[in-house]
Amino acid sequence: MHAIVYEVTNTNVPGLVSNFHDGLNLGYAYESNGFYVHFYGTNTNLYSVHTGQTVLEKKSASTFGTIEDWVRHNFGAKNIQTMASNVGESVKGVWRPALYYYADTYQALEVTEADRRLSEQALRVLLEKLDDLFLYIEPDVVSLNTYSHKIRELLILACTEIENFWVHYMMLSGIAPIGRNYSTQDYVKLKEKLFLNEFQFTLRSYATLAPITPFVSWSSVNPTTSLGWYDAYNKTKHNRTTHFSSATLSNAISAVVANLILYIVRFSPYPLLEDKNTFNTLVNQHFNFELTDADYKQSYIPQIEVPAHYRSDIFIYDSRRANDIKPYIVKPFIV
């Protein structure tokens, strides 16, 4: 069963003000156990889906015979589209909007807190090295092409960690390398599957610098050279004498951000925002991040099992607190 998604332009639910949807301008709806179900959501920042604002109405009590008519009347639904995946399904290891609480994320992505902590330890080293560089080189449009041995060290370490993420996903998909090792011809297949082009980072203290989007230009036509910072890593790793100048501050920053994006894909963004430790402090000291032009049809929509005894008229409630949300059916990751 696929949910529908739509723009919310009005709220016509008894007990709610007509502008209740301000800031919650996406809606997701489907039928469950004879009820119409609606969730409010956002189309900015992390495109969250709010189970705390779940609206129900028993279909037999409604004057609207289709869910499309129901959402048009109650939520002013416009631009109605069908979601990409079934309600209550997720893909192993790939975070999408709607997953917020840790327990839900671990279950839906089949990851553990131990996995997350180990990854954070590795990325903390990168962030500490970047933080140290910023004490000596002020990030600015005139300094981004600065290069040095310390920057080269960070670039190589960061790209090595990225390869670790990539190999994890290739192995998760069950694809063996054609030769001895995987190559960027293999890795570039991950761009669309992991939604890597949707993530954008900015440096908090340096508003004049362009947003950092490490994967946007990645192309299967030129899978290495189209990823400029990764191409620079290859060059300066294998031939420092000739390509030392490729180890720039700009490339190092992009490589660190690419790691943070892959961390978010695997474990969700919320540990970066809400945990209190050295790793999180370093991330939030230097970066803001968000999803940009995200395909909200690819969000995971929770399946709720509405008890038959619930009231039949339209009302809003917290479906998660009521324990009505079923565990996700986890689909395999396939490249």
Do the domain assignments include residue 58? yes
Interval 210-224: pLDDT, tens = 999 999 999 999 999
- Whether 211 and 233 share a structural domain: yes
- Whether 48 and 20 share a structural domain: yes
- Whether 320 and 275 share a structural domain: no
- Whether 29 and 126 share a structural domain: no
Domain hosting residue 50, numbered range: 2-97+296-331
Using the predicted structure, report yes or no on whether residue 179 has a pLDDT greater than 80: no
192: tokens are 């669309």
Contact 322, 309 (CB under 8 A): no
- Whether 153 and 124 share a structural domain: yes
- Whether 86 and 167 share a structural domain: no
- Whether 65 and 78 share a structural domain: yes
Using the predicted structure, report yes or no on whether residue 178 has a pLDDT greater than 90: no
- Whether 285 and 319 share a structural domain: no
Do the domain assignments include residue 106? no
Average pLDDT over residues 190-211: 94
- Whether 189 and 271 share a structural domain: yes
pLDDT for 208 equals 87
Which among 60, 270, 63, 69 is positioned nearest to 38, based on CA atoms?
Answer: 69
Residues 6+ apart with CB under 8 A from 270: 100, 102, 105
pLDDT for 177 equals 84
Q: Is the dihedral of CA 88, 93, 99, 101 positive or negative?
A: positive
Residues 6+ apart with CB under 8 A from 239: none
Using the predicted structure, report yes or no on whether residue 176 has a pLDDT greater than 90: no
Do the domain assignments include residue 223? yes
The pTM of the full predicted model, rounded to 2 decimals, is: 0.95
Cross-strand bridge partners of residue 55: 38, 316
- Whether 308 and 241 share a structural domain: no
Which among 190, 199, 158 is positioned nearest to 335, based on CA atoms?
Answer: 190
Do the domain assignments include residue 104? no
Do the domain assignments include residue 103? no
- Whether 14 and 135 share a structural domain: no
- Whether 130 and 251 share a structural domain: yes
pLDDT for 180 equals 80
Alpha helices in 77-203 (DSSP H): 102-109, 113-134, 149-172, 184-187, 190-193
Average pLDDT over residues 93-122: 96
Q: How many domains does the chain have?
A: 2
- Residue 77's Cβ-count burial label (10 Å; 0-12, 13-18, 19+) is buried
Interval 270-323: pLDDT, tens = 999 988 899 999 999 999 999 998 999 999 999 999 998 999 999 999 999 999
Average pLDDT over residues 157-183: 92
